Structure 1
């Protein structure tokens, strides 16, 4: 299991196969009336869009840090495991990576209340429509899903901020 997890983390092919499988599976589940060829075509479109986004993100992180995408994946793994690199050059790259990621998260903080508010308004609107239209089950499911998603988003953001701030502090202490 450990090597499969690393393969999905490091390999664009692995990530693409995962997105393709999820895309085809979700299309088969949600659009069971469509022919299987349509599921595959839509899955491929989803995969292409997701892989372009992943490649652009990797390229941007490579440009910012000056390291290869494989090295960045290794550094991200070290950050998650609270490991400070011993090599000074690797520490410098990690310092740039942590600074960039912290900056992105902190810049996004300004828009977070608006996104959460918009999710809440959509959930409340769907609840009202479901109540007036008689289909309360779907709208209640969506409202619970939206609330759980927002809580998960806030928890993940807080955990990630704590992780990056701890790593920044450890990097400062090391060198």
Structure 2
């Protein structure tokens, strides 16, 4: 399992395969009446767009840290596990990566209340529509799912910020 997980985290081809299969599945479920060839074309289009965005993000992060994309993946794993490298060059790359990711999270935090508010409004809108049509089961499930998703986003953001702040302070201390 460990090698498969590493392959997916290091390989854009593995990630493209997962996106393609998931896209096919969603197309098959939500577009049952369409031709299966259309499912393949749509899934391929989704895969190309998503992998293009991922590759651009990887390149940008690699340039910001001064490391190749494989090293960035390895450094991210070490950040998640709280491992501080002993090599000064690797410490400098990790410090730049931590600073880059903290900057992204802090900039993204400005828009977080608006996104959460939009999600809350859509959940309330679904409840209102359900109340007017007389069917509350789906709107209640949707509202609970949106609330759980919003809480999960807040928890993951807080956890990631704590990990990155801890790593920033650990990388500054010469030990």
Task: Give the corresponding residue for 2:92.
Answer: 92
Task: Give the corresponding residue for 1:3.
Answer: 3
**Mapped partners of 1:142, 1:52: distance in 2:** 31
Task: Give the corresponding residue for 1:172.
Answer: 172
**Mapped partners of 2:130, 2:55: distance in 1:** 40
**Mapped partners of 2:10, 2:143: distance in 1:** 35
Deviations 1:80-126 (A, max 9, x none): 11111111111101000000101111122222111111110111011
Task: Give the corresponding residue for 2:150.
Answer: 150
Query: Where does structure 1 lack aligned partners over 5 or more consecutive residues?
Result: none
CA shift, 1:174, in A, is: 2.9
Task: Give the corresponding residue for 1:161.
Answer: 161
3-state DSSP of counterpart to 2:173: helix
TM-score normalised over the length of structure 2: 0.95
Task: Give the corresponding residue for 1:119.
Answer: 119
Task: Give the corresponding residue for 2:66.
Answer: 66
Deviations 1:30-75 (A, max 9, x none): 2222221111111111111110110110011011111100110010
**Mapped partners of 2:98, 2:62: distance in 1:** 13
**Mapped partners of 1:33, 1:109: distance in 2:** 41
3-state DSSP of counterpart to 2:91: helix
TM-score normalised over the length of structure 1: 0.95
**Mapped partners of 1:155, 1:121: distance in 2:** 20
Query: Where does structure 2 lack aligned partners over 5 or more consecutive residues?
Result: none
3-state DSSP of counterpart to 1:174: coil
3-state DSSP of counterpart to 2:33: coil
Task: Give the corresponding residue for 1:128.
Answer: 128
Greater mean deviation of Cα atoms: 6-15 or 142-151: 142-151
3-state DSSP of counterpart to 2:82: coil
* RMSD after superposition: 1.2
